Amino acid sequence: MKRLVVIVALLCWWSAAFSQEAYLAKEELPDVVQCVPAPPQDPSTGFDYDILRYMWGKQQRRDSVRLEMAVRDAIWSMDTTLAILGEHFGLRVSKAETPAIYEVLTRGVATIEGIRFKPKEHYFRIRPFAYFKEPSIFPQDDEWLATEGSYPSGHTIRAWACALLMAEINPACAEAVFARAWASGESRVISGCHWQSDVDASRPVASIGYARLQTSPVFRAHMALAQDEFRRLASPDQGGREHFVKITDVIPDAILEIRYFGTYNFVGKRIDGYLEPIAMLTRQAADSLKAVSDDVMKLGYRLKIYDAYRPQCAVDHFVRWSKDPSDTLTKRYFYPMLDKPVLFEQDYIMAKSGHTRGSTVDLTLFDMATEKEVDMGGTFDWFGEESHPDYTGITAEQYANRMILRDAMLRHGFKPLDSEWWHFTLKDEPFPDTYFTFPLR
């Protein structure tokens, strides 16, 4: 009799899952019973691990912050899931404010999560709290939860499906949104409502449903609308980040001295948009810079980076500073021979910078033998003719050092700037007309 009640309940839940006009009919979803391993049997090594993880989950409940997260993750509401993962998505998702994104997420998740019903009915696995005859963190729900199989975890499938869809809309959020979806799955172990193997199976199950979802022409059309909506509405914190890489991820030997993250720069303050001391470039520019690094390493040098991608908000900060004649804190260190208003007039500071297009880098050489910067006969961001690459008022050795850097950069597709020996831009930059503004973090 209990089995019949469960089957009826599952059919009701299936209907509810597809009440949002699913992109695929239930018959079109793969039968994961045929492709995902069965849950561990009792007794077995796998089941022993499930028990250990159940005990781990009970220990995690002692952490009030983690327990609170587990409680929030347990709310079976699509809007709650969107709010939880939306914290890392880049936009606040709602039916009113982001209708195209809301549509594809709710319908897409409703379609994918329907894949869970066949294995739940087939295996009808007992839940951990029922197995141990202990309450879960939701004792008020234990009675009815005990009547539904635990394998796989519907909550985990829902979170993972939502993360897959969000990452397709905004690839830049992938790392953060998948990390949060992973934690949401672990919350089910902490709650006592799912075994670890339930959760572990749920992520590939969601991925199987997601792969099948891609075959729906309606879904593909809606996804394109959602991606377009994101591009139009995305905050500056996210737009375009997916085209960039951290220089140190491509060139681990590069040394960073990100001047605009600190106060040792011509403004004398941390510059807007520099939230972390990192350097980023478009992937194409970073790959070319890696070839430069390989060349100079053979000569005993490493690359030292002062700046690379520069958010537009940072350039705006420079412009505001240049228009404040009373702020001359750094004049003696960076522009002693010039009046401040001239900096803007003579293009030392511009309202638009090649750095903001993402393929320009400011750098020097670091001598591995002496463990010091190479003497270039001038300092970074010095406003004056001494910074011109062809300036002759320096020693022959200093000039030769500039040429070592310049020749390596030109050899691998970069072009120099006439007024700054440290400044180079990729000739074939991928975004010659786009000025990005996401912050460095």
- Backbone angles phi and psi of 12, in degrees to 5: -65, -45
420 is catalytic: yes
Q: What is the signed CA dihedral for 170, 176, 180, 181, rounded to 10 degrees?
A: 40
| Catalytic, out of 113, 121, 257, 420 | 420
Report which secondary-structure segment, H or E, holds 129.
Answer: helix 128-131
Would you say 413 and 429 are in contact if contact means Cβ atoms under 8 Å apart?
Answer: no
The CA-atom distances, in angstroms, between 88 and each of 173, 186, 218, 222 are: 6, 18, 26, 22
Q: Which residues contact 353 (CB under 8 A, 6 or more apart)?
A: 310, 315, 360, 435
Q: What is the signed CA dihedral for 111, 112, 118, 124, rounded to 10 degrees?
A: -120
* Secondary structure string (H, E, C) spanning 151-184: CCCHHHHHHHHHHHHHHHHCHHHHHHHHHHHHHH
Give the residue among 399, 414, 377 at the shortest CA–CA distance from 293: 414
- The full length of the chain comes to 441
The CA-atom distances, in angstroms, between 239 and each of 91, 175, 436 are: 11, 15, 7
State the Cα–Cα distance between residues 275 and 441, nearest whole angstrom: 5
Give the residue among 260, 218, 193 at the shortest CA–CA distance from 100: 218
State the Cα–Cα distance between residues 152 and 264, nearest whole angstrom: 55
State the Cα–Cα distance between residues 437 and 155, nearest whole angstrom: 36
| 414 beta partners | 426
Mind telling me the catalytic residues? 420
